[in-house]
Amino acid sequence: MVFRKLPGVSASGMGLRLSQKFVFLLFLSGLVTLCFGALFFLPDSVRLKRIFLSKTESQPVTVGSENDVREHLKKGAKDPEHLRGITSAKGETSTKLKALSRKPSVTNEAKTDKKNAGGETLEDVMPSRSKTESASKDEKVTSSSNQGANTDTSFDYNKFKKCLLKPPLGIEHGKPSDPQTLQRREKVKEMMKFAWDNYKSFAWGKNELRPLTRNGHIGNMFGGLRGASIVDSLDTLYIMGLMDEYNDAKEWVETSLDLNSNGEASLFEVNIRYVGGLLSAYYLTGEEMFKRKVMVLGEKLLPAFNTPTGIPRGVINLGSSGTSWSWGWASAGSSILAEFGTLHLEFVHLSELSNNGIYTEKVMNIRKLLNKIEKPHGLYPNFLSPVSGNWVQHHVSIGGLGDSFYEYLIKSYLMSDKTDEEAKKMYYSALEAIEANLVQKSPGGLTYMAEWRGGILDHKMGHLACFSGGMVVIGADDGAPEKRQHYLDLAAEITHTCHESYSRSATKLGPEAFRFDGGAEATATRLSDRYYILRPEVIESYMYMWRLTHDPKYREWGWEAVEALEQHCRVEAGFSGIRDVYAQTVSHDNMQQSFFLSETLKYLYLLFSDDDLLPLEDWVFNTEAHPLPVVRKSCLRGEGGTHDKTTSK
């Protein structure tokens, strides 16, 4: 009972004296307060807690079913693997880390179709904001969010150019002297123009082109941001000298790239495509508009780090709430290694341009935690709790879910002008553990990287893991001197294996994953692994191997890929992925991925160019192939430059 019957007082509550009523109400209010307060001690995953917390506070809440996120990621196969920022064959967006995964129950596009029979939402058909309105809104966001911070944005672009060792575009834009190589480079340039022209004709302002149906695809990966193919293509167009096309892209970014969206985005994908694309466009051209845009966007990503450990969650609302959460398929609300480990390059440059150390601080805090916790056999599992800071599952992969974490370790060292000793130590220690536990040799003599599941090897290698040939070769010179040749050999062997996965298919294009068990050698044994979605990783390794060995076979292998793309992926209105690389008659998936323009064609163009086009002494490529410059702090803070001014662009 709430109260006992008192002498001389009726049992009716109406009979209470005023003082007794006051005591009763005081007791009742205390009880209610206690019950409501207890909600805050419930586990993070309890959704009631979200009702009472500020919208600006990040919550470790997962969203959607596993199937929802697979489509929301990138693949379409069973495992929710990080497939580098992709849209699935069905047109649903999956997440790319150099990999996340992707098959939905109800897609964004299905919802869109219900809204508008023409396939567009009201947001799509609204006229673009004017240039003045866009600029003023961006500047407003910047000024309000930067209050009180050290945000002197007087980055000296001219001094930066003088700190480069060589002109970014080479003496003659990397034009090769060999006629055959030049002809092949021109073919790649024509492919880029064809892909771009069709995107502009049928999907302008959307995220990707659907070449079979000749319309655009938006997807749900970028939180309301549009024009992924435009931002991803800026540097490719500029490097290839397609200036009319570049100027169209620049004008769209200036007038129509609306950063004030209020949607749920992949932190990883927005960072590597939009932040990376805008950064590289700024560094290559000096256009201040790109810098202004990227600084606004960079600030919108910071709330994802508001977790007990500082490990960011994978999904963030780009609107004013800044709430973030983990992927619905990620165990126990965990964050993904390849997602939170693929921020360092871009965030260091955000700090450089803004003179605000908050971005570097965020990614260095990730390093601190990773160095503190125990790693099984020296390996980094793919799932980490952003609440406890502990590993959630002991699944290790150099392909999906893990890949670009390792890539960014060696590239952080190179981008720091070889001063980031911590990144160097972490990279070579990880590579040693990978060699000891994952690198295998097949009965047929092929070297591959298996996956590790709690001590049990899964003898498969994903297309995404084929970037590792390039990763190993760019780090060959900076490890122990006695291991230099070993690293060169390892890189060559991995790249050879990935080439075999292409050459053993009917189309001469490689599958999403290939196996080395049950008699299989570098071939896909599951129907779900047979697709090819215009991925760049194998060609990426060809480019790096060519740059660092000049073995002509890498250019020949690259040309084989060009011929296969032309024969099997080129359709009347663009390029499309295919559903089965082993089929004699191909079935297209109706998607021209934005990374085909950013990575695949750029790496092919560089493969057939002289080495002075974006020389590796001055530039590192982020995981979306956006070139970012080496940071030479001593030069930037001092006087003069490092290369002859007469050769500068």
> DSSP 3-state assignment of 456?
strand
DSSP string, 291-354: HHHHHHHHHHHGGGG-SSSSPPPSEEE-STT--EEEETTSGGGPEEHHHHTS-HHHHHHHHHHH
d(CA 625, CA 85): 12
**Could you tell me if 371 and 389 are in contact, meaning their C-beta atoms sit under 8 angstroms apart?**
no
For 609, the enclosing helix (H) or strand (E) is: none
DSSP string, 338-392: HHHTS-HHHHHHHHHHHT-THHHHHHHHHHHHHHHS--GGG---SEE-TTT--EE
169-201 burial: b if 16+ Cβ within 10 Å, else e: bbeebbebeeeebeebbebbbebbbebbebbbe
546 token code pair: 């060519």
**Could you tell me if 294 and 29 are in contact, meaning their C-beta atoms sit under 8 angstroms apart?**
no
Q: Indicate whether 38 belongs to any domain.
A: no
User: Domain containing 335: what range?
Assistant: 183-636
d(CA 263, CA 259): 11
DSSP 8-class letter at 598:
I
d(CA 518, CA 514): 12
Residues belonging to the binding site for Ca(2+) are 623
d(CA 259, CA 332): 31
- For residue 537, indicate whether it is catalytic: yes
Per the listing, tokens 């938006």 go with: 218
Q: Indicate whether 56 belongs to any domain.
A: no
pLDDT at 32: 58
Q: Indicate whether 143 belongs to any domain.
A: no
- For residue 512, indicate whether it is catalytic: yes
- For residue 403, indicate whether it is catalytic: yes
d(CA 83, CA 465): 10
308 token code pair: 């007990």
d(CA 589, CA 610): 34
Mean pLDDT by 10 residues, the chain (649 residues): 36 47 64 52 34 33 32 37 45 40 32 36 34 43 40 80 97 96 98 99 98 96 96 98 98 97 94 98 98 98 98 95 93 96 98 97 98 97 98 96 98 98 98 98 97 95 98 98 98 98 98 95 97 98 98 98 98 98 97 98 98 98 98 82 43
Q: Indicate whether 137 belongs to any domain.
A: no
Distance set, CA 420 to CA 206, 403, 412, 628 (Å): 39, 20, 7, 16
Query: Can you say how many angstroms the Cα of residue 602 is from the centroid of all Cα atoms in its chain?
Result: 17
Catalytic residue among 92, 258, 403, 599: 403
> Any idea what the CATH number is for the domain that residue 511 is in?
1.50.10.10
Residues belonging to the binding site are 623
d(CA 328, CA 315): 10
pLDDT at 25: 65
Q: Indicate whether 52 belongs to any domain.
A: no
- How many domains does one find in the chain? 1
Q: Indicate whether 66 belongs to any domain.
A: no
pLDDT at 261: 86
17 token code pair: 């004296």
Catalytic residue among 512, 529, 618, 624: 512
**Total-model pTM:** 0.81
**Helix, strand, coil distribution of the chain in percent, nearest 5:** 50, 10, 40
d(CA 594, CA 512): 17
Minimal CA–CA distance to 340: which of 405, 409, 262? 405
372 token code pair: 């503190």
Q: Indicate whether 98 belongs to any domain.
A: no
- For residue 71, indicate whether it is catalytic: no
Strand 451-453 and strand 456-458: the pairing is antiparallel
**Could you tell me if 614 and 630 are in contact, meaning their C-beta atoms sit under 8 angstroms apart?**
no
Catalytic residue among 138, 269, 529, 612: 269
Catalytic residue among 537, 540, 580, 612: 537
Q: Indicate whether 437 belongs to any domain.
A: yes
> DSSP 3-state assignment of 93?
strand
DSSP string, 98-157: TBB----SS-HHHHHHHH-TTS--HHHHSPPPPHHHHHHHHHHHHHHHTTTS-------H
